[in-house]
Amino acid sequence: MTRGIKRAAWILNTCGFVFYLAWLATMGDRQILREQDGIVYFLPVIPFFFVYMLMIDPKPAKPEPSAPVAKPAGHDDGHDPA
């Protein structure tokens, strides 16, 4: 995904999320948090969070440390022990 497309999707998702929350805020005459079926009004918020999670760049995997290579017996590495 190119940087421009990602930025446009991020802005569009944010605008949609803000407008949806503003629409919820205008429903002041209903007590949606106190009604049993009030959760239905908050379910559309979940896809907004999924879009945000999918747009975050993954962390690069840490390279696993390789096991030390054992030197064969009698191997001379060029250093004098003296």
CA–CA distances in Å: residue 29 to residues 32, 33, 82: 9, 12, 90
pLDDT in tens, 1-38: 788 999 999 999 999 999 999 988 887 766 776 777 77
- pLDDT, position 78: 60
Whose tokens are 């969070």? That residue is: 49
- Where are the chain's structural domains? 3-55
- For residue 58, pLDDT over 70 is answered with yes
C-beta neighbour count of 76 within 10 angstroms: 7
Q: What is the pLDDT of residue 82?
A: 56
Q: In this structure, which long-range contacts are made by residues 37-44, counting pairs with CB atoms below 8 Å and at least 24 apart in sequence? A: 44/20
CB under 8 Å to 17, separation ≥6 — which residues?
Answer: 45, 48
